[in-house]
Amino acid sequence: MKIRFLGTGSGASVGSRRFKSGVLIDNTILLDCGTGVNFRLDDLSLSTKVEVVMVSHLHIDHINGIPEVLVQRAVNKAPPLKIRSPPGFTSYFRSLKGIGNVINAEIIEDYLPTFKNDQLAIWSVKADHAIYGVAYVIDSYDKRIIYSGDTAEPVDEILEVAKDADLIIHESSCIDDCKQFGHTSIKEVLTLFSGKKVILTHIPAQLDHVMRTYVRENIILAEDMSEYEI
């Protein structure tokens, strides 16, 4: 699987160095689409080509790029974007349409969203966040990737599915403790997933220099537009 980070910032991240959440798999599957991720897709000429967006939860930093993608698709007469999301996205979409935006999408809501195509199967487990959210498991042939979305670890279900993972893409929103906000610190991620290959994302740009000191073998700090193959 080819993984490209389109947005690696947290909700509190400032500036354009790290846009908000977005991870692209094989140029067709987008895990979250936060603010600015739409521009990365435009730069790659993929706004009209992405097949599906898997939404982890409905916080603004994970969905705010989607309306812009829908506009690009409407303008270019591209097929409706598929959106798989926990309940609530349809209401957001309808409110945008209701105030006059001409956009289209194929939305399926589920408490545990799934998606399948010829190459891969995506399924989800419940996360532990400030609002309802899920973590995604992406299985393709003999490879497995976990995408945590936003979550306060430890979450038994996530730890369980991560045991067999070839790569864990995990949020890392602070240095020491941000459990009260429904997030996981870099120290907790490194402890809980020691021995695994981890790419850290959801990084406040303001903490970039401190986060960087934790990088070591198998622990990577994602950058916007960085690419990996698994």
Enumerate binding residues for Zn ion (CB under 5 A): 11, 59, 61, 150
Q: Quick one: 134 or 192, whose CB is closer to Zn ion?
A: 134
**Residue spans of beta strands (DSSP E) within 28-183:** 29-31, 52-54, 81-85, 105-109, 115-116, 121-126, 134-140, 143-147, 167-171
Least distance (Å) between residue 66 CB and Zn ion: 14
Q: Using CA atoms, how far apart are residues 58 and 78, in angstroms rounded to an integer?
A: 24
- For the CB of residue 194, give the shortest distance to Zn ion in the complex, in Å: 24
Distance CA 146, CA 117 (A): 18
Contact 146, 161 (CB under 8 A): yes
Q: CA nearest 202: which of 138, 153, 142?
A: 153
Q: How far is the CB of 78 from Zn ion (least distance, A)?
A: 27
Closer to Zn ion by Cβ: residue 68 or 171 = 171
7 or 73: CB nearest Zn ion? 7
Among residues 140 and 184, whose Cβ is nearest to Zn ion?
Answer: 184
Q: Which is nearer to Zn ion, 129 or 144 (CB)?
A: 129
The residue (of 120 and 205) whose beta carbon lies closer to Zn ion is: 205
Least gap, CB of 123 to Zn ion (angstroms): 20
Q: What is d(CA 41, CA 162) in angstroms, rounded to the nearest whole number? A: 28
C-alpha to C-alpha distances, 192 to 122, 144, 158, 186, 198, nearest whole angstrom: 23, 18, 11, 10, 11
**In the Cβ-directed half-sphere of 72, how many Cα atoms lie within 13 Å?**
18
CA 158 to mean position of chain CA atoms: 15
13/140 with CB nearer Zn ion? 13
Per-residue DSSP letter, 207: G
47, 41 Cβ separation under 8 angstroms: yes
CB of 102 to Zn ion, least distance (A): 29
> Contact at 8 Å (CB) between 184 and 173?
yes
Distance in Å, CB of 22 to Zn ion, minimum? 11
CB of 45 to Zn ion, least distance (A): 27
